[in-house]
Amino acid sequence: MELSFSYPELKDLVAGRKIAVAVSGGADSLLSMVLLKELGADVMAVHGCFLGSEKSALAVAGLELRCAEFGIDLHVLDFKAEFDKMVIEPFIKDYLKGDTPNPCAQCNPQIKFGVLYAAARSFGAELLGTGHYVRIVEHPEYGRMIARGADLGKDQSYFLSLVPREDVLNAVFPLGNHSKTETYSELKKRGLKIPLSSESQEICFVPDDDYRQFLIDRGVKLPGPGDVILSSGEKLGQHKGLWRYTHGQRKGLGIGWREPLYVIEKDLKRNLLILGTKEELGASGCIAEKVNFLVDFDKWPETVRIQTRYRQRSMSSKVRLDGDNLVFEFVEQHSMPTPGQIAAVYTEDGAVLGGGIIRKAL
Please list the active-site residues: 107, 204
Amino acid in the structure at residue 209: D
pLDDT, tens digit (0-9, with 9 covering 90-100), for 182-200: 999 999 999 999 998 766 6
Give the chain's length: 362
Using an 8 Å Cβ cutoff, are 343 and 337 in contact?
yes
Write down the pLDDT at residue 87: 94
Write down the pLDDT at residue 11: 84
Write down the pLDDT at residue 311: 86
Alpha-helix runs per DSSP H in the chain: 10-14, 27-38, 54-70, 80-83, 89-96, 104-107, 116-122, 157-160, 165-168, 180-189, 211-217
> Is the pTM here over 0.85, yes or no?
yes
Q: For the chain, 362 residues long, give each residue's pLDDT as a single digit of tens.
A: 444 444 446 888 899 999 999 999 999 999 999 999 999 999 999 999 988 777 788 999 999 999 999 999 999 999 999 999 999 999 999 988 889 998 988 899 999 999 999 999 999 999 999 999 999 998 889 999 999 999 999 999 999 999 999 999 999 999 999 999 999 999 999 999 999 876 665 678 888 888 888 888 898 888 899 999 999 999 999 999 999 999 999 998 988 898 999 999 999 999 999 999 999 998 999 999 999 999 999 999 999 999 999 988 999 999 999 999 999 999 998 889 999 999 999 999 999 999 999 999 99
pLDDT, tens digit (0-9, with 9 covering 90-100), for 59-74: 999 999 999 999 999 9
Write down the pLDDT at residue 6: 42
Counting Cβ atoms within 10 Å, is residue 255 exposed (0-12), middle (13-18) or buried (19+)?
middle
Write down the pLDDT at residue 202: 66
Write down the pLDDT at residue 53: 72
Q: Considering only CA atoms, which of 150, 132, 129, 109 is closest in space to residue 5?
A: 150
Counting Cβ atoms within 10 Å, is residue 289 exposed (0-12), middle (13-18) or buried (19+)?
middle
Residue 311's alpha-carbon distances to 22, 118, 271, in angstroms, are 25, 31, 30
The secondary structure of 244-275 as a DSSP string is G--TT--TT-----SS--EEEEEETTTTEEEE
Write down the pLDDT at residue 210: 87
Write down the pLDDT at residue 205: 86
